[in-house]
């Protein structure tokens, strides 16, 4: 803030302040003694503001000063609206991932978690293969032959349902914690329908990729997971992670953010899955979800920045 001069009365100071604001010059007024001090925020606008002050002192009743009040009020109203929208989106780095209270889980996040839990219990932690086979993208006995035979026969839900299957408590709890944190953030900041669309796209792409791409030994046991006999929310979770990571990185105004520690943990665990030491993992599913989510986050960030 730089002081450019004084005016004798509050009426004149406010009139001149409105004039500056209407011209895009941010300013503040300060009452001191018998005078009102005029302060300008931007150093580059000092010369223009000083010249305007000289013109105002020469003729404060000029029409050009009187007719700027309405425009100044419009500018203030727009600024207030933008600030309120920003406050709703903004979350500090210290707040994210501190606990469940940071973001309230929306209806869709809770529904996804509850379906996973119910399927987990009903399938006996995924061990009841006869029942769980109805949730696989394709029944294990049908993997040889045509591509996705059940889906081609009308069982389209199989493109989505593998995300609800989990095999063991660690598998379920790990995925549900991530789903709660990431899902709550996205659903609260961007709305239920956008979150639903993102989950659906990530579910289909990650499941189809795991089914379609032949397992290749990149490190050790990449091919441990059978073509159709896989499940878990982790493909979607890695997609949500990729989306939040790049959307927040390239569009901070979205309010989405992944802290450095969480980023490192997620990426280390992603790479560790390819070693085979963590057991049979649908690594293609993880990779496809991460790539699609990150790509979607980057593209939407660029679009949002362009329109703003």
CATH of residue 264: 1.20.1540.10
CA end-to-end span of the chain: 27
Asked if 245 and 190 count as a contact pair (C-beta separation under 8 A), the reply is: no
Q: Which of 67, 88, 109 is the last residue of a domain?
A: 88
Higher pLDDT, 63 or 118: 118
DSSP 195-258: HHHHHHHHHHHHHHHHHHSPP--SSS-GGGS-SS----SHHHHHHHHHHHHHHHHH-GGG----
For residue 297, give every residue at least 6 positions away whose Cβ sits within 8 Å of its Cβ, in sequence order, or none: 242, 243, 244, 245, 246, 247, 248, 250, 256
294 and 178 in a single domain? The answer is yes
Domain count for the chain, please give it: 2
The domain spanning residue 9 has which CATH number? 3.30.70.2350
Q: Which of 33, 68, 88 is the last residue of a domain?
A: 88
239 and 261 in a single domain? The answer is yes
98 pLDDT band, cuts 50/70/90, is very low
Asked if 220 and 272 count as a contact pair (C-beta separation under 8 A), the reply is: no
107 and 227 in a single domain? The answer is yes
Place of tokens 């529904």: 111
102 and 135 in a single domain? The answer is yes
260-308 residue pLDDT tens: 888 888 888 888 777 766 666 778 888 899 999 999 999 999 998 777 6
pLDDT tops 50 at residue 95: no
Range of the domain at 167: 95-307
Q: DSSP character for 45?
A: G
77 and 197 in a single domain? The answer is no
């Amino acid at each position: 803030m730089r002081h450019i001069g004084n005016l004798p009365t509050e009426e004149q100071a406010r009139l001149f302040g409105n004039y500056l604001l209407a011209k895009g010059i941010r300013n503040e007024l300060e009452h001191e003694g018998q005078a009102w001090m005029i302060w300008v925020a931007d150093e580059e606008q000092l010369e223009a503001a000083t010249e305007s002050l000289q013109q105002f002192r020469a003729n404060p009743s000029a029409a050009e000063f009187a007719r700027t009040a309405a425009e100044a009020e419009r500018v203030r109203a727009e600024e207030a609206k933008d600030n309120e929208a920003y406050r709703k989106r903004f979350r500090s780095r210290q707040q994210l991932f501190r606990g469940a209270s940071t973001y309230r889980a929306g209806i869709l996040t809770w529904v996804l978690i509850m379906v996973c839990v119910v399927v987990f219990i009903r399938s006996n932690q995924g061990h009841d293969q006869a029942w769980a086979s109805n949730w696989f993208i394709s029944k294990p006995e049908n993997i040889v032959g045509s591509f996705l035979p059940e889906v081609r026969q009308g069982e389209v839900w199989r493109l989505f349902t593998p995300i609800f299957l989990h095999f063991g408590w660690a598998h379920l709890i790990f995925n549900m914690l991530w789903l709660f944190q990431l899902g709550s953030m996205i659903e609260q900041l961007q709305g239920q329908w956008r979150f639903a669309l993102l989950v659906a796209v990530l579910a289909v792409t990650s499941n189809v990729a795991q089914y379609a791409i032949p397992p290749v030994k990149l490190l050790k046991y990449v091919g441990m997971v059978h073509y159709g006999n896989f499940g878990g929310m982790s493909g979607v979770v890695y997609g949500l992670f990729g989306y939040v990571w790049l959307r927040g990185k390239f569009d901070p105004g979205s309010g989405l953010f992944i802290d450095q520690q969480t980023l490192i943990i997620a990426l280390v665990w992603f790479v560790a899955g390819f070693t085979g030491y963590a057991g049979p993992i649908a690594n293609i599913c993880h990779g496809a979800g991460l790539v699609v989510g990150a790509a979607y986050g980057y593209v939407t960030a660029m679009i949002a920045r362009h329109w703003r």
